[in-house]
Chain A
Amino acid sequence: MLKDITLGQYFPGETPVHRLDPRTKLILVVLYIIALFQADAWPSYLLVILVTLICMGISKISLKNIFKGLKPMLFIIALTAILNLFYTQGTPVREGWIITWEGIDRAVKMMLRITLLITGTFLLTYTTSPMALTDGLEMLMRPLKKLKVPVHEMTLMMSMALRFIPTLIEETDKIMSAQKARGADFETGSLTQRAKALLPILVPLFVSSFRRADELAIAMESRCYHGGEGRTRMNQLKYGRNDYIALLLGVLFLAAVNVMKHFGL
């Protein structure tokens, strides 16, 4: 069933991580990614893993949920590992083999790096509602407005797209049922036949999306929407003590990884 897909992947909760300002979390994720790519030797990798696990513990996100999200990425992770395994120069594991000790080392590290990268971003989307996320993004990208980047419009589009994903899924479900009731078959046949079978779903879906967009535009205009200029918001984002502490910890973490790198750890 289409309805069972989780999108946006937000897990509502009341942990300190959930309560952090979305801006803080966005900055922390950036710091985390920089640190992750600075980490080179095993000790610093272990530090990154430890920090990730602690963050998961605080936000009460289980390993099971993370692995569920990792599933679609398995192919990329495996491919990177295999490429690194075979294409790294060094001392062969055994005389005449292509696989080197360095290759194994790199393959494992690359796998870890991608896994940690995804885990870090998951922690953000799992603990931050899509609306808070776009709000945070808009605030952080505000300086770009000076360069004539339409920040407000971009984030508005993002939040509207997120808002309408469940609606569209429901609608697709309904149209599919209706066409199935008229004998449409989506499950059997060759690839071209199946692609053709999508037409009775896509056409009504497009028609209703345009209608919806039209209605939304009229509804916004009739409430005097005129872009982001001078617009205030109902839920102001406020920095709290926890946000400063979290940011400080983030910077310390990045510094620690850099210091370790300096000493070849």
Chain B
Amino acid sequence: MAVLTVENLKHIYSIGTPFENVGIHDVSLTIGQGERICLLGHTGSGKSTFVQHLNALLQPSSGSVLLDGENINKNKITRRDVKRRVGLVFQYPEYQLFEETVYADIAFGPKNMKLGKEEIDERVHEAARFAGVDDSLLPCSPLELSGGQKRRIAIAGVIAMRPEILILDEPTAGLDPAGSRQIFENIRSYRENSGATVIVVSHSMEDAARFFDRLIVFDHGTVCMDGSPEEVFSRADKLTEIGLNVPKATELARALYRRGVLPDAAVYTHEQLLRAVLQAGGEAAC
């Protein structure tokens, strides 16, 4: 079932000035309930512009975005409501923290939804748990914590609104591998518990292969590939052509395949590669 439908979406920046610039160009997509989607594409390919359309932060130059069949840009009220149902975490979200305590910052979203005090309290604790923020941090000032902790607090601030669709724009940029993995685990547990649809913008092919069912590749403001990791990564040449690559494991598997070590190169994660190599080794030993 489609929750979000994007029809012929087009966005032009600074329309009517000499600085006119096409951000995205004729994008049509449907996104189903509970999907795990990763948006890929090099810098400036239009992914960030695209996600800002999904919660009506940007208004399309032409085309429309439908949430449960209703145009989200119909009027002021639909534009406000969509922000509660579609949660968007920006790139480097730690720079938007402003409250005196972590608790107050996470509560900012629910408070704007005019919820009751108890409801807010419940949501703050729940969101903190999902985002991996320890309860002992809640009374601290968010500005004095480490980068990774700040990032998790900012994500909790969006999760506290209990969005049906959670969008994160490069949530792991600038974090170490352990921190990145933990953030993906947190997102996964939020999705499993809430049934939310998750859309993540990422540059990491490894993460794309490991955590997502559907990959959408942007290039020059249009969708150039849309499919499962298997489908997308099997077209390695096309990916290289638009300035992206395949996961390291796939690269290695392809090299091994060319030398006749592996029977095929359909390998996308380290675990799969390990299994394939062990299997091939086992057969050779026999």
Residue B41 at the chain A interface, CB threshold 8 Å: no
Do residues A4 and B14 form an inter-chain contact, with CB atoms below 8 A? yes
What 0/1 readout, one digit per residue, does chain A (166-180) give for beta carbons within 8 Å of chain B? 000001001101111
Binds A, one of B4-12, B85-93, B212-220, B267-275: B85-93
Binds B, one of A89-97, A120-128, A197-205, A224-232: A197-205
Do residues A182 and B109 form an inter-chain contact, with CB atoms below 8 A? yes
Do residues A182 and B90 form an inter-chain contact, with CB atoms below 8 A? no
Do residues A183 and B98 form an inter-chain contact, with CB atoms below 8 A? no
Within residues 9 to 65 of chain A, which ones have a CB less than 8 A from any CB in chain B?
A: none
Given contacts A183-B83, A183-B161, contact A175 B96 (CB under 8 A): yes
Q: Is the interface of A mostly helix, strand, loop or mixed?
A: helix
CB contacts (< 8 Å) of B14 on chain A: these are 1, 3-4
Do residues B98 and A178 form an inter-chain contact, with CB atoms below 8 A? no
Residue B193 at the chain A interface, CB threshold 8 Å: no
Q: Number of residues in B with C-beta < 8 Å to the partner?
A: 25
Within residues 39 to 59 of chain B, which ones have a CB less than 8 A from any CB in chain A?
A: 52, 55, 57
Residue A7 at the chain B interface, CB threshold 8 Å: no
Residue A242 at the chain B interface, CB threshold 8 Å: no
What is the distance, in angstroms, from B52's C-beta to the closest C-beta of chain A? 7
What is the distance, in angstroms, from B109's C-beta to the closest C-beta of chain A? 4
- Please tell me which one of the listed residues A1, A177, A182, A204 contacts residue B157 in the complex, with CB atoms under 8 A apart: A182
Given A181-B55, A207-B95, output 13 extra A-B contacts at Cβ < 8 Å.
Answer: A174-B95, A175-B96, A177-B52, A178-B96, A181-B83, A181-B90, A182-B83, A183-B83, A183-B112, A200-B96, A200-B98, A204-B96, A204-B98
Q: Closest 10 A-B residue pairs measured CB to CB?
A: A183-B112, A203-B98, A178-B96, A182-B109, A181-B88, A178-B90, A200-B98, A204-B98, A177-B57, A204-B96
